Amino acid sequence: MQSMMAYWFNIRFNVEPALLGAIFFGANILAGISALAAAKVAARIGLIRTMVFTHIPSNLLLMLVPLMPNLPLAIMILLMRFSISQMDVPTRQSYTMAVVDPDERSAAAGITGIARTTGSSLSPVIAGPLLASPVLLSFPFFISGALKILYDLLLYRSFQRIKPPEEKEG
């Protein structure tokens, strides 16, 4: 995904590779911090809510990036997005391990990993042709954000009532 975004920044704003490197270095630092902060947020609002309530704003911010009229605003929105973008990863892993029987944890981790990898590997097939068209250049941001928000809403609807042991009221 970052390769596609780097390409988009280059085409849209003529950003040089050195600046792209700095942008994504900062974005990845913020993503790492967001993954670390997830535990504190989850302790307050729960694992499922942390996954969904941070991922939806993150994807709304993703959809706003191509709507920004200039490079500084686009970078600011992108960095804001990355500052909350990874809170779903550790909380999803923790939730999965908490609600699955111990003898099924390896299989559950494998299935969720395969699902994420499959989605990531298919996205360039869709995004590539869109990025090749000047008219459709920003569509991958909208499609990706919308699909991820749909995923979040379905996840919340499906699992909001299934609490891990540490969240169940005694």
Find the domain containing 30 and state its range: 2-162
20 domain residue, yes or no: yes
DSSP letter for each residue of 60-83:
HHHHHGGG-SSHHHHHHHHHHHHT
Tally of domains within the chain:
1
Is residue 168 included in any domain, yes or no?
no
Q: At what angle do helices 47-64 and 17-45 cross, to 10 degrees?
A: 150
Higher pLDDT, 167 or 74: 74
The reply to whether 74 falls in a domain is: yes
Residue 84 falls inside a structural domain: yes
pLDDT value at 90 more than 70: yes
Is position 170 within any domain? no
Gap between the Cα atoms of 125 and 74, Å rounded:
25
Is residue 76 included in any domain, yes or no? yes
Arithmetic mean of pLDDT over the chain? 93
* Mean pLDDT of all residues in 51-74: 97
Question: Is 58 within a domain?
Answer: yes
Assess if residue 147 is contained within a domain. yes
Q: For the domain that residue 48 is a member of, what is the CATH number?
A: 1.20.1250.20
Which pLDDT tens digit goes with each residue over 29-48? Answer: 999 999 999 999 999 999 99
For residue 52, give the nearest of 84, 9, 78, 23 by alpha carbon.
84
The pLDDT tens digits of the residues spanning 116-149 come to 788 778 888 888 898 888 889 999 999 999 999 9
